[in-house]
Amino acid sequence: MQSLWKLVSSPRHLLVFEAAARTGSFTRAAEELNVQQPAVSASIKQLEHSLGTLLFVRSHRSVALTHAGERLFNEVSSAFDRIHQTADLLSQRAAQDHVTLSASSAFVHYWMIPRLTRFHEAHPNIDLRLQTSEREPDIDAEGISLAVRRGTGAWPGCESHLIAAEVISPIAAPRVMAAAVNLRTVSTLAHHTLIHLEEPIRERPGWADFFAHWSAPYQEPKTGLRLNDYALVLQAAIAGEGFAFGWHHVTEHLIDQGLLKRRSEWAWETGSGFYLVWSSTARLSPQAQRVRDWIIAA
């Protein structure tokens, strides 16, 4: 980029050049850019000096592009068109009256989507857009209205509200649970097939933490089903692939449907929670406030 600025001296010169080439007149370019005509002429001269070539053939009443000028104009106008289209798109998105909720794929699929009908019935005029992410996005930098995060409720630049305490129980498909006739203690669970969640970025507890909480012996297996997304873990559990971690707030709907069963007597309350968060510096729109209040009430 530095080498480009050395060639053109200033990005302003390219703006002036594009206007002069498009209008075919230094005077009309000056009127469009709201500057004096000598300023346009001087800017073009500086650009020609930097590039070492003439860009315009000047006559008494008009100017015309040289071959080099035509080549530069084709590239500059195309680049400006792309920049304008992108800027216009971003401006339209910023002006749109919608609310964005960012969360893990499992939360979106198994907590939010089953409640969408009730949400739309309560707020038919709110354009709610759900986004899934493998990481915790910067809500200010990415223009996100609301997000769901696991933790203790304290994040710099964010306000938060607890929507679910973190409670985890072993879950499995009904037929897998029924077949586990010797599953009488937490220790015996370690002898069954376990589905492991290994998220690459988000910090989540695992089976080793679960057994340690119950003071049960456990040795991490070298083989087994390991998945990097909790939505995939739940699908594997429903398919009968083994026992999985069951976060209560996410799996409640699946258990009510009879797709999964849980061992509630082995519920582990970790002390963490799942929080709805929003920016403490950017004002929430009235629509985002209503979405926030609805999720908290739900």
pLDDT 10s digits, 83-92: 888 776 665 5
DSSP string, 121-150: HH-TT-EEEEEE-SS---TTTTT-SEEEEE
pLDDT, residue 141, reads 83
Task: Report the DSSP beta bridge partners of residue 268.
Answer: 168
Longest dimension (CA), the chain: 99
Average pLDDT (259-280) is: 95
Distance CA 230, CA 109 (A): 10
The confidence band for 138, taking pLDDT boundaries of 50, 70 and 90, is confident
Do 260 and 142 sit in the same domain of this protein? Answer: yes
Helix (H) / strand (E) element for 278: namely strand 268-279
Of 53, 74, 95, the position where a domain reaches its end is 95
**What is the predicted pLDDT for the residue at 162?**
96
The per-residue pLDDT of the chain, averaged, comes to: 89
Q: What value, to the nearest 5°, has the Cα angle with vertex 92 and ends 88 and 95? A: 140
Indicate the pLDDT class of residue 199, thresholds 50, 70 and 90.
confident
- Under the banding of pLDDT at 50, 70 and 90, the label for residue 142 is confident
Would you say residue 8 has pLDDT above 90? no
Residue 10 is predicted with a pLDDT of 80
Give the position of tokens 């999720």: 295
Determine how many CB atoms are found less than 10 A away from the CB of residue 193. 15
- One domain for residues 248 and 262: yes
Q: Are residues 19 and 76 part of one domain?
A: yes
Interatomic CA distance for residues 131 and 124, integer angstroms: 19
Q: Which of 63, 233, 260, 288 is nearest to 177 (CA)?
A: 260
Domain boundary among 95, 128, 154: 95
**Residues 111 and 32 reside in one and the same domain:** no
Shared domain check, 36 and 106: no
Together in a domain, 88 and 217: no
CA gap 24, 62 in Å, rounded:
7
Structure tokens at 176: 């897998």
What 3-state class would DSSP assign to 165?
Answer: strand
255 and 166 within one domain:
yes
User: Do residues 125 and 227 share a domain?
Assistant: yes
Dihedral sign computed on CA atoms, order 188, 190, 193, 195: positive
For 280, the token pair is 């403490």
Tell whether 110 and 71 lie within a shared domain: no
User: Would you list the DSSP string of 2-44?
Assistant: HHHHHHHS-HHHHHHHHHHHHHT-HHHHHHHHTS-HHHHHHHH
User: DSSP string of 80-125?
Assistant: HHHHHHHHHHHHHHHHS-EEEEEE-HHHIIIIIGGGHHHHHHH-TT
**Is 13 in the same domain as 36?**
yes
User: Which CATH number does the domain housing residue 245 bear?
Assistant: 3.40.190.290
Span 200-226, pLDDT tens digits: 777 889 999 999 999 999 988 877 789
pLDDT digits (tens, 9 = 90+) for 88-122: 666 555 545 789 999 988 999 999 999 999 999 99
Identify the burial level of 257 via C-beta atoms within 10 angstroms of its C-beta, where 0-12 means exposed, 13-18 middle and 19 or more buried: exposed
Range(s) of the domain holding residue 112: 97-298
Same domain (yes/no): 145, 288: yes
Q: What is the mean pLDDT of the segment spanning 13-23?
A: 91
What's the rounded mean pLDDT across residues 260-265? 96
Cβ atoms of 144 and 131 within 8 Å: the answer is yes
The pLDDT of residue 7 is 65
> Do residue 282 and residue 209 come from a single domain?
yes
What's the pLDDT score for residue 94?
A: 52
Our count of domains for the chain comes to: 2
Which CATH number does the domain housing residue 82 bear?
A: 1.10.10.10
Among residues 68, 95, 122, the one where a domain terminates is 95
Q: Are 291 and 128 in contact (CB under 8 A)?
A: yes
Q: Residue 194, SS3?
A: strand
Structure tokens at 1: 């980029």
CA distances from 21 to 33, 37, 110 (A): 13, 14, 57
Angstrom distance (rounded) from CA 255 to CA 249:
11
